[in-house]
Amino acid sequence: MSDKKTAVITGAARGIGKAIAIAFAKEGYNIVINYHSNVPEATVAECEKLGAQVLSLQGDVSDFNFAKDFIQSAKKEFGTVDVLVNNAGITRDNLLLGMKEEEFDSVINTNLKGTFNMIKHASKVMLKQKSGSIVNIASVVGVTGNAGQANYAASKAGVIGLTKSAAKELASRGITVNAIAPGFIETDMTNVLTDEQKEKIFATIPMNKAGQPEDVAEAAVFLAKHGYITGQVVNVCGGLCI
């Protein structure tokens, strides 16, 4: 067993999750990641290059039993679960009238229930340790809403409510729970938009450009290391939500 702290990050094969895993490896943590369909070879290689030991498991965070096994494997391998970052998320955009039941359910199951599943099992370990930090990746649209994203915005609003409730329940045991609400970050999720659509969005962002996955990762490390910030939503959005 290692004397390093352990950070568990969901959905870390690419995008924001990959940047978060690398940021925690840089901070000296051992890394536990999951992936859904893309094998996270690059994430593992970069974290190992930074001196981290890495455990990587395939599985779906919306599956309650997978979340349990995932946390138990992390604890078994490294002894503690010091940080949990709930990053895994999907979009299935559609206008309300055209939105299929499956599009609503799959987004709520992955983004909201997946976050609940992971918190439920990780907090058990953290309660015994009497320490831990949980960072949930929400979205600015969880506060503002967004046409064509009723399912996604509802899931992220749910993540914010879950964050604040868990923060109140766990604070007295030395566990912090916070959320990050990214605005427009350059990843596969946003690369489905055309250049014209992107330009229109950038025009609404005071900093007039997309954020990078590393911008979110820095905020996650800050929140995880801070012992007296809890129940907060930190916007990483270039001023979009001013």
One of 38, 53, 73, 146 touching ligand NAP (CB under 6 A): 38
Least distance in angstroms from the C-beta of 102 to ligand NAP: 14
The Cα-based distances of 172 to 85, 177, 227 in angstroms read: 20, 12, 12
CA distance 52 to 25: 6
**Of the residues 80, 87, 149, 178, which one makes contact with ligand NAP according to CB under 6 A:** 87
Residues 93-132 that bind ligand NAP (CB under 6 A): 110, 114
- Residue 152 known to be catalytic: yes
88 scored as a contact of ligand NAP (CB under 6 A): yes
Nearer to ligand NAP among residue 19 and residue 52 (C-beta): 19
User: Quick one: which segment of 69-77, 81-89, 168-176, 224-232 binds ligand NAP (CB under 6 A)?
Assistant: 81-89
Site map for ligand NAP, 131-170, x if CB under 6 A? ------x-x-------------------------------
Judged by CB, which is closer to ligand NAP: 4, or 219?
Answer: 219
* 74 lines the binding site for ligand NAP (CB under 6 A): no
Q: Under a CB-based contact definition with an 8 Å cutoff, are residues 132 and 82 in contact?
A: yes
User: How would you class 38 by CB atoms within 10 Å of its CB: exposed for 0-12, middle for 13-18, buried for 19 or more?
Assistant: middle
Eight-class DSSP state of 95: -
φ, ψ for residue 87, nearest 5 deg: -110, -30
Length of the chain measured in residues: 242
The reply on whether position 192 binds ligand NAP by CB under 6 A is: no
> Residue 51 gets which letter from DSSP?
T
> How many other C-beta atoms are found inside a 10 Å radius of the C-beta of residue 156?
28
Alpha-carbon dihedral 208, 187, 70, 2, rounded to 10 degrees? -80
Q: Which is nearer to ligand NAP, 42 or 96 (CB)?
A: 42
Strands 132-137 and 175-182: parallel
Among 11, 132, 158, 238, which residue interacts with ligand NAP (rule: CB under 6 A)? 11
| Active-site residue list | 152
| Interface with ligand NAP (CB under 6 A) | 10-11, 13-17, 34-38, 60-62, 87-90, 110, 114, 137, 139, 182, 184-185, 187-190
